[in-house]
Amino acid sequence: MSTLTLALIQSSLHWLDKSANLAHFTEQLNSFNEQVDLIVLPETFATGFAINLDCSEPEQGEVLNWLQATAKQKNAVIAGSVLVAQGDKKANRFYWVWPNGEVRFYDKRHLFCLGNEGDYVIAGKQREVFTINDFRILPQVCYDLRFPVFQRNSDDYDVMINIANWPAARRHVWDTLLKARAMENLCYVAGVNRIGEDGNNVAHSGGTAIYDFKGDTLAKLDDNQSGIIIQHIEKSPLKDFRRTFPAHLDADQFQLL
């Protein structure tokens, strides 16, 4: 039976302090001994969402080195987003790092125009799907959650993961859309959001959770509290549900430009 064990990390972030954030997440990850397959950290976990400030990493920088060392030490894939220098802008890069040091990534596609994100961040162009333990994973970052066409499941993934700095003021949207994406795409959905106030005085309340393919909650962390979800998911119930309720066969056909 194909299974996947995830560790979803909910935490506050130290504003623009990479060393403090990396030390904090090292401590959190050392707080459990259970073997997991995949560790998921929040969006911009090393700096906070400081897109307009000079805090980006080079392609192979301190934070990626930490991810590679941590993946090896925990013998698990580790994922989280980092602001990576791209010319005079940044990419909000969802890193996917294997224990052997191999690195793949997805760059956030949808940029928040209300916050002028596009002035500082380049939009990703490529949809990615990563595979682990026979589970196909669609990585997404924060605002991507609002755009279901980009996330339409054409039977090419089994789990959607969204990592975020989603504000508390719009928390209801986060909770609702995570469940909706699970139900409409017949997939597991894991959302990892930060807590605490950032350097722009924006509050975040969490909402880190994992939902099954029917939108039912498998696990959810308490609001405004650091914590870790360790959750086992199985492939066979998902396959059985898709077979008995094949709504994907009635989906509209389209292509992304």
pLDDT in tens, 193-228: 999 999 999 999 999 999 999 999 999 999 999 999
Contact between residue 196 and residue 13 where contact means Cβ atoms under 8 Å apart: yes
Task: Choose the catalytic residue: 43, 57, 179, 220.
Answer: 43
pLDDT in tens, 171-190: 999 999 999 999 999 999 99
Task: Choose the catalytic residue: 142, 179, 187, 220.
Answer: 142
- The answer to whether residue 142 is catalytic is yes
Rg (CA), the chain: 17
Task: Choose the catalytic residue: 18, 57, 90, 108.
Answer: 108
Phi/psi of residue 64, nearest 5 degrees: -65, -40
- The answer to whether residue 108 is catalytic is yes
- The answer to whether residue 43 is catalytic is yes
* Strand 77-86 with 38-40, pairing: parallel
Average pLDDT, the chain: 96
- Domains annotated on the chain, with CATH: 3-248 (3.60.110.10)
pTM: 0.96
Which residue from 186, 172, 175 is spatially nearest to 208, judged by alpha carbons?
Answer: 175
pLDDT at 1: 54
Distance (Å, whole) CA 144 – CA 110:
5
